[in-house]
Amino acid sequence: MTRTLRASASACSNIALIKYWGKRDFEWNIPLNDSVSMTLSEAVTTTTVEWDPELKQDEIYLGGERVLDQRGLRVSRYLDRIREQYYRMHARVASVNSFPAGTGIASSASGFAALGLAAIAALGEGLPDEVEMTRWARRGSGSACRSIQAGFVEWVGGDDDASSVSRQLASPDHWDLRDFVVVLSRAPKAISSSEGHRIAARHPFMAARQEHLAARMLAVKGALANRDMATLGALVEHEAMEVQAIMMSGEPSALYLQGETIRLIHALRSWREDEGLPVWFTLDAGPNLHVLCEGSHALAVRRKLEAAAPRAELLENRPGPAATVHDDHLL
Amino acid sequence: MTRTLRASASACSNIALIKYWGKRDFEWNIPLNDSVSMTLSEAVTTTTVEWDPELKQDEIYLGGERVLDQRGLRVSRYLDRIREQYYRMHARVASVNSFPAGTGIASSASGFAALGLAAIAALGEGLPDEVEMTRWARRGSGSACRSIQAGFVEWVGGDDDASSVSRQLASPDHWDLRDFVVVLSRAPKAISSSEGHRIAARHPFMAARQEHLAARMLAVKGALANRDMATLGALVEHEAMEVQAIMMSGEPSALYLQGETIRLIHALRSWREDEGLPVWFTLDAGPNLHVLCEGSHALAVRRKLEAAAPRAELLENRPGPAATVHDDHLL
């Protein structure tokens, strides 16, 4: 047998406009609610997987270094799922991110989208359809399913593994929306996203949140359809504050916001409300601000951000492409 | 008629351990829930009221200056309530605070407790009983009812003007608890407390908050009774985060926290969790941190705060005395 069971894939991370926070099923990453995201053009993970019958165990390389810790174990557990369904051999996996580690960009989203795609492509038996690929990505990390499709994506939360899938709402050329990631801190999170999902699931405000989310989802989709920035911005900012509110008032309290985050939020609201600059923000489970505007205001927003946070790194994203298999192998 | 209808009174502000946020009745300041506070020894308002049949209108002096704006109008509207029940003459009112304006200390609490007491005492017909005095204070500003009694106070929210009263839980000598007000900003609030109460009343999380507040109230009273700082601190901090969460995720969003507030919260949690210093915090509708500890740790906490926020003013409070009538007249 000389056929090489190797393939490479790339996938972009994504920023949630309606958030995934709280799971109903931890084995299959079934969320409490539907969510919506924009795929991030400049936050790309590239991964090569090589299945090798000679290997006695998986070999995982992240950013060029072999990892034997929790991160490697998580990749191997994911490969176990693929092995259950396909072959029973081990794999060599190499993965690199286009963006620096610890920036608060969800590397598990781009990471598991690229890993799932490369691992299945490497089997050489053809890829499952796009919907099934979103299932495979989600099994690795919930939000990874939103990194399979390009542009603007909806994750239909569903009830179980079969029904929890993502689908494209609009392609990248639908709307020139920009997402500036303002990297304020690279310190590791005091409370992991995994633990955060558990705290959220038992949070006393979660039931009320679920009750109004369906209306907010519809409104966000309407604003996306109409390219209505003011409506989208207000909805997305409110959503971000609501999820941060749940994080910080849980037991234990997860205060992902840093002083600099709050300082910039006040500054951004003042640019919008006092100076008329059409700019909004969202946040993930971390301190780094995601600043949203239309392409026509991107230069003005960039200048404001550079002046207000001169030491912060800025990563400017457009609606990104779909995850793809390609021949630029890392192994 | 030569009898002078004049009296003076002083009252301390208070810091809520369980918060008053959200009203069920705006005319009578009936809150959505019961609350608990500590009276603040170093945040005192002194007020003199002189009813004068010669006056054609009220004359209001705050901090030595005659005021003709909204603040004066609020005092006059309050005097109207007293006039409805007692006399129909106007008054000269002078009031000073022992603490600087705009520090985020609730001057309306100490202010209306002192004003109510002085205004009724000045009528020369004897004072109503203590419970009725808490009603009079609350009619001016809800939390003012908690400034009538010394030490640790509970405001029984009630359903109407008759049932909404405060009562003492413990006297100041029950427990040497300290409250450091860390004055981080004196900027006026972007959203007034009054508006905040309206936003809170329609907030989707408020019903869930009300459901668990009874249990939290009982736990706080138990911790006060037992002088159990770790239990009280955890409850009070969780309560503060929950109310800030509701404020920032309302429509509109009231983000009272500043960058410096969040920076100090992270620092304080690190003192406690990494260094073992038994210190907790609470917050009001503003950016200034209230730092809580027992007297035995007050010096260590003061030094930490001075090092972490060298430019912030510190106001160290003990459980304060009851509101009193006295003869140090301002008029």
Specify whether the backbone of A35 is left (phi greater than 0), alpha (psi in -120 to 50) or beta: beta
Find tokens 């006040």 and name the residue. A266
The per-residue pLDDT for B122 is: 96
Nearest-CA distance B148 → chain A (Å): 31
CB contact under 8 A, A259 and B255: no
For chain A, percent of residues with pLDDT exceeding 90: 92
Q: What is the pLDDT of residues A268-315, one digit of tens each?
A: 999 999 999 999 999 999 999 999 999 999 999 999 999 999 999 999
- The verdict on pTM exceeding 0.90 is yes
* pLDDT band per the 50, 70, 90 thresholds, residue A202: very high
Q: What is the pLDDT of residues B53-78, one digit of tens each?
A: 999 999 999 999 999 999 999 999 99
Provide φ and ψ at B194, rounded to 5°.
-55, -50
* pLDDT band per the 50, 70, 90 thresholds, residue B87: confident
CB contact under 8 A, A244 and B241: no
CB contact under 8 A, A205 and B207: no
Instruction: Identify the CA nearest to A17 among candidates A192, A218, A196, A185.
Output: A218
Cα–Cα distances in Å, from A65 out to A60, A62, A330?
Answer: 8, 5, 12
Contact B282, B240 (CB under 8 A): yes
User: CB contacts < 8 Å between A and B, how many?
Assistant: 79
Residue B14 has pLDDT above 80, yes or no: yes
Taking any CB pair shorter than 8 Å as contact, residues of chain B touching chain A are 204-205, 207-209, 211-212, 237-238, 241-242, 244-246, 248-249, 251, 253, 255, 257-263, 265-266, 269
Nearest-CA distance A72 → chain B (Å): 29
Nearest-CA distance B241 → chain A (Å): 5
> Which one of A243, A248, A257 makes the best mutation probe of the B interface by having the most chain B beta carbons within 10 Å?
A248
Instruction: Identify the CA nearest to B246 among candidates A129, A151, A242.
Output: A242
The per-residue pLDDT for A106 is: 77
Crossing angle of the two packed helices A206-225 and B206-226, in degrees rounded to 10? 140
Contact B182, B309 (CB under 8 A): yes
CATH 3.30.230.10 corresponds to the domain B1-331: yes
The per-residue pLDDT for B100 is: 77
Separation between Cα atoms, residue B31 and residue B24, nearest integer Å:
5
Nearest CA in chain A to B262: A259
Contacts of A209 in chain B (CB under 8 A): 204-205
Please measure the distance between the N-terminal and C-terminal CA atoms of chain A and give it in whole angstroms. 19
Instruction: Choose the closest CB to B207 out of A208, A237, A265.
Output: A208
CB contact under 8 A, B262 and A255: yes
Nearest-CA distance B262 → chain A (Å): 5
ipTM for the predicted complex comes to 0.92
The per-residue pLDDT for A103 is: 67
Q: What is the pLDDT of residues A255-279, one digit of tens each?
A: 999 999 999 999 999 999 999 999 9
Nearest CA in chain B to A260: B259
CB contact under 8 A, A260 and B259: yes
The per-residue pLDDT for A88 is: 80
Is the alpha carbon torsion for A310, A311, A312, A316 positive or negative?
A: positive
Is the alpha carbon torsion for A33, A34, A36, A42 positive or negative?
A: positive
Instruction: Identify the CA nearest to A290 among candidates A300, A299, A280.
Output: A280
Q: What is the pLDDT of residues A82-140, one digit of tens each?
A: 999 887 899 999 999 998 766 667 789 999 999 999 999 999 999 999 999 999 999 99
Nearest CA in chain A to B270: A190
The per-residue pLDDT for A188 is: 77
**DSSP code for A128:** P
Residues 6+ apart with CB under 8 A from B22: B31, B32, B33, B197, B200, B201, B203, B206
For chain B, percent of residues with pLDDT exceeding 90: 92
Nearest CA in chain A to B253: A238
Q: Could you state, in order of their start, the residue ranges of all structural domains in chain B?
A: 1-331
Q: Which two tokens stand for residue A271?
A: 């640019």
Residue B110 has pLDDT above 60, yes or no: yes
* pLDDT band per the 50, 70, 90 thresholds, residue B93: very high
Is the alpha carbon torsion for A65, A70, A71, A76 positive or negative?
A: positive
> Which one of B205, B206, B242 makes the best mutation probe of the A interface by having the most chain A beta carbons within 10 Å?
B205
Residue A286 one-letter amino acid:
G
Taking any CB pair shorter than 8 Å as contact, residues of chain A touching chain B are 204-205, 207-209, 211-212, 237-238, 241-242, 244-246, 248-249, 251, 253, 255, 257-263, 265-266, 269
Map chain B to HEC letters.
CCCCEEEEEEEEEEEEEECCCCEEECCCCEECCCEEEEEEEEEEEEEEEEEECCCCCCEEEECCEECCCHHHHHHHHHHHHHHHHCCCCEEEEEEEECCCCCCCCCHHHHHHHHHHHHHHHCCCCCCCCHHHHHHHHHHHCHHHHHHCCCCEEEEECCCCCCCCEEEEEECHHHCCEEEEEEECCCCCCCCCHHHHHHHHHCCCCHHHHHHHHHHHHHHHHHHHHHCCHHHHHHHHHHHHHHHHHHHHCCCCCCCCCCHHHHHHHHHHHHHHHHHCCCCEEEECCCCCEEEEEEHHHHHHHHHHHHHHCCCCEEEEECECCCCEEECCCCC
The overall average pLDDT reported for chain B is 95
Instruction: Choose the closest CB to A241 out of B237, B242, B248.
Output: B248
Nearest-CA distance A49 → chain B (Å): 41
